[in-house]
Structure 1
Amino acid sequence: MLKALSTAALGALAFASVAVAQEEAISPTFPEPEAIRQVVEKAVDGFIREGYRGFQLAAGDLAEGMASLCSAPSPASLAAAKNGFAKAARSWARIEIVRTGPAIEENRLERILFYPDRKSTGLKQVQALLAKPDEAATEVASLKGKSVAMQGFGALEFVLAGTGSESLSGPEGNFRCRYGRAVAQNIKQIASELVAKWDAADGIQHHWQNPGPDNPLFRTEQEAMTALLGILVHGAEMVRDQRIETFYRGEDKSAFPKQAIFWRSQNTWTMVAGNLEGLRDLIRVSELVDLLPSDQHSIVGSIDFVLKSIMGVVEEMNPDIEAAVADTAGRQKLDFLLVNGRDLIDRLNDQYGGAIGLTSGFSFSDGD
């Protein structure tokens, strides 16, 4: 698919995604409370809780892979550890869009992934640690007391793919590996905490699924639905604004490939793909379409079309970000992602939000 997109082809696909299923004027009526409860329940049980369980399993495999690398360093075990990193990162990316609840408590989001790191804080701290080893960083209990930038995927990516990472295939990389093992164990521990928080019957899942006057999170079903749709809107914004615009802002502007997430390990698009899969799955699993009148179901159909178009281009992106931004075809694809990323945000925020009865001028993006 999309092996090489010409300017004309890109334009045609972008136009198609914008023009698909143009909606008639919407006369919004907020859905029945019971219908909203069903959608929220599906989102919580079928997407959020399942997503964290999947991340917990991937984080466990990552920790095992790092332990194996440290106990028997070799090119093969290093390659396996890198593969485990990519899988765990993608698993996190799928559920990363849920930037609320336990994930934002106790700095869990930042401890799992400190990004964007505009001042290279994490890089400098990890480099300093590797230059002057501190055994406290090789144990999870003490690692938790260090900077959040040293505890998660960003730090582990440098361990596995940064300058000097080739030492991991032999005994000379012992300290580096043990630090990476502690980071992986820390990620696994945080994943387990997230699962436990969301699985607690009287905890956050109960608050999401049972709005009411005594609920500390949501007094009404409308508030819960607003939060759910906010996850989608902010997730789509994150893909466009943090994953892409951090290093590429348009054809006539300078590109900064080394600011892209996980550029060293060539996992930038691994993360983008995971984020998009999360958006797609949340929409499908929660069955958002059920809240729309039958004559407006095409709103969700058009959102799905745009998502598929973006995901198709992401699959064809060069994993080498420096090469991607230096190539004309690569920049055309990046332009496509920016244009259609904005379209996706608007369709979620304006079209779907308006169709389910949000007042004119409401914007999840503004946090209103």
Structure 2
Amino acid sequence: MRHEVAVRHLAGTAFAILLALPLGAGSARAMNEDNVPMVLEKAVDGFIRPGYHAFEEASGVMASAMGAFCATPDEATYGEATAAFDELVGAWSHIEIVRTGPVIDDHRFERILFYPDRKSIGLKQVQAAIIEEDESAADPDYLPEKSVAMQGLLALEFVLFGTQYETMFEAPETYRCRYGAAIAENIDTIAGELSEEWDAKDGVAAHWKNPGPDNPLFRTNDEALTALLGVLVHGMETVRDQRLEYFYRGEEGPNIPTRAIYWRSENTWPSIRDNLAGLQALLNNSDMVDLLDEDVRSIVSSINFLFSSVEGVVGGMNPDIEVVLSDPDQLAKLDYLLINTRDLILRLNDRYGGAIGLGAGFSFSDGD
């Protein structure tokens, strides 16, 4: 009963917010074409490239911290390694929303983050490598040839936080720790590749900034803006469908705490918060509001209001997912998040997209 009351309260609050926020434009195009080059340039130089630089920096710290922990396994070096992992998850979560470009080449995205692992195949492979002490998996030169599920953040999370992680304290350079160090080096290598490709003078960044008939990616401004808005819409869909609904399906269930991303390290909510912060930063750092005529710019104001509301609720979630799924107040907040992340998707896709002429007859969800 308490959960139902709390849900009604939060849902009522959400409904009041929706009534207060203008829905914005319909299908009429209200885009300032002259601002398109500026917005594309800011998206690349004000968000994408700095995001990959931050990820590369965090991955370098992680690799160094794992090396130090393996050499001298004690509480201090372990604490530094786990803190570096938290920072690495945060840096990746901020930029992982850009699921286009070099990150989708050579399975880089999946090599960094293999999730959801629907049949626990990746977990079983990681556990098998540790039990069997597969030296090829602990070799940074050979690990990239292994399954993508053995190479990335969730594999490293299991090494640092999973069952029997304390065995790494028994002696320097244990197999488990060396495997973790190889994973960290592998992530650092991929992060360096991503930064290098986005920094290349005549590479993907130039293609994003300069749509045209000879551009291999975008022939027109509309094509480039479709890709940019698609990052926002698909990113929000990922937050709702894979970060929330994958472990929480409402009162009917099934609700499975171990499906939540990064549950072992209690990074579920920090990573979701950074996903949301990344999406909002892309919207605002790119000055996407400047594509709209003055009379419809309230669309972006309403989107920012909802982002702030959702991020505030995420910040108040219990880090223990089992507690979340047994606490009526926490469940009510989850329901609130589902309602408002859905609304963010609609406002980005239908309202903002419609205002710049990409809403009518177009569905980012369908990938058309």
Amino acid at match of 2:246: T
AA partner of residue 238 (structure 1)? T
Q: Is the 8 A contact 2:7 2:333 kept in 1?
A: no
**Counterpart position of 1:320:** 320
State the Cα RMSD in Å: 1.5
Aligned position for 1:346: 346
Q: How far, CA to CA, are the matches of 2:78 and 2:169 in structure 1?
A: 6
Once the two structures are superposed, residues 107-135 of structure 1 have per-residue CA deviations (whole angstroms, 9 ceiling, x without a partner) of: 00000010010011110001001110011
Q: How does 1:215-234 map to 2 (within 5 A)?
A: 215-234=215-234
The alignment partner of 1:144 has SS state of: helix
What amino acid maps onto 2:151 in structure 1?
Q
**Structure 1 residue 57 displacement after superposition:** 0.5
Contact kept, 8 Å, 2:25 with 2:352, in 1: the verdict is no
CA deviation profile, 1:6-57 (whole Å, cap 9, x unmatched)? 4454124312332232235535225344311110110011100000000001
- What does the per-residue CA deviation read over 1:118-161, in whole Å, with 9 as the maximum and x for residues that have no partner? 01111000100111001121121100111100000010000001
Partner Cα separation in structure 2 for residue 359 and residue 234 of structure 1: 14
Q: Point out where structure 1 has 5 or more consecutive residues left out of the alignment.
A: none
Question: Which residue identity does 1:61 align to in structure 2?
Answer: V
Once residues 147 and 91 of structure 1 are traced to their aligned partners in structure 2, the CA distance between those partners, rounded to angstroms, is 23
Q: Is the 8 A contact 1:23 1:296 kept in 2?
A: no
Query: Within 5 A, what are the aligned runs for 1:170-189?
Result: 170-171=170-171, 174-189=174-189
Equivalent-residue separation in structure 2 for 1:328 and 1:254 (angstroms): 16
Indicate the residue corresponding to 2:362 in structure 1.
362
After superposition, the Cα gap between the structure-2 partners of 1:362 and 1:241, relative to the gap in structure 1 and judged at 3 Å, is same
Residues 291, 356 of structure 1: 8 Å contact kept: yes
Whether the 8 Å contact between 1:244 and 1:260 is mirrored in structure 2 is yes
Q: Please tell me the residue identity of whatever aligns with 1:43.
A: A
Counterpart code for 1:268:
T
User: In structure 2, what is the equivalent of residue 75 of structure 1?
Assistant: 75
Residue 251 of structure 1, CA deviation? 2.3
Q: Distance in 2 between matches of 1:151 and 1:25?
A: 45
Match of 2:132 in 1: 132
Please give the secondary structure, in 2, of the residue aligned with 1:358.
coil
Runs of 4+, deviation exceeding 4 Å:
none
Q: Which 5+ residue runs of structure 2 have no aligned equivalent?
A: none
TM-superposed CA distance for 1:258, in Å, is: 0.7
Would you say 1:95 and 2:95 are equivalent positions?
Answer: yes
In structure 2, distance between residues paired with 1:18 and 1:153 = 37
Amino acid of the structure 1 residue aligned with 2:143: L
Q: CA deviation at 1:76?
A: 1.9
Number of residue pairs matched by the alignment: 364
Paired-residue identity, %: 54
Give 1:110's aligned residue. Answer: 110
